[in-house]
Chain A
Amino acid sequence: MLVAILFWAFSAVLVGAALGVILARNAVHSVLFLVLCFFNAAVLWLLIEAEFLAIVLVLVYVGAVMVLFLFVVMMLDVDIEALREGFARNAPLGALIALIVVVELAYVLWVRRLGVELPGETAPLAQGASNTAEIGAVLYTQYAYPFQLAAMVLLIAIVAAISLTMRRRPGLKAQDVSRQVSVDPAERVRLVSMPPEREP
């Protein structure tokens, strides 16, 4: 009962925040609404006792990805009006995607109503079993190759992004820290001994 109330309350906030993402006039507010969305999704996962996934969602998306989003959105001077102009042209495509998503959701709900045993359906974990350990056990045995593959794809994406944006400008005056640290005072300072000047 309590879980149901919490589920509906957090789902309502989630949907409201999702609407806020696309309706907010300010891009920074949109990003913050998206953060709220992630939080509520994490809470929904907590309600079905998937605490590892919930915390990882907050850690990765809220703690790292969205911070960078916010960082970029704040730096950019986003002109909302200019973006609005393209709205009518892209509207049919958007409507099509929305339609596909709605059909997919309806299909999933319809399949569930038939009472078919879904491959994803499993018995709830025994009392005291660690969620984290269970996921780890599956991730590193049954799904080891897909997991490694996903990691490699991400690594390649990082390397590609860096190599695309890195530019080596000639004549750049950058510091070489190891040379700075290893400098010998004798090379830089010459102590001269000379007689003091006489009073005029």
Chain B
Amino acid sequence: MNVMGRAPAFLISFVALAIGATPDLRGAETVWSGLVIAENVAQPKAVPPELTRIEGMLREFFGYNQFQVIGQSQKTLKTGQEDWLTTSKFFGLHVDARGESEGGYVLNLKLYKEKEVLLETDAKLSKRSPLVIKGPQVGSGQLLLVLMVQ
């Protein structure tokens, strides 16, 4: 094959490889947020799949053997300016994304008990670094707020 024949083939292959290797430019990441009740029970239920990734740490760090999700949301961040609400019957977690920064998204979080703000925090959430917030004691268990980029 001559030079003229090889060049287009090379060009097409290279462009295909480059496009295939290019990640989504705006990094449309999905953030999972959950309200979790951690308890110690005699017959613990299996951990929800969303928490499998951090199950070991949750058990070790908080000392509970069961983790039940009582409310959850998934939000795809396209602009990094979205906001959403994760609710259970009595609690609400409002997440307000305030843009991208180096290595993550800046989030404003507010934990509501009905209409009352119990806790507010600003955090920079990284993709490979979930955030866990220890909330109030609920009965014999503990409310945990979990945010992670999926």
Q: Tell whether A pairs with B.
A: no
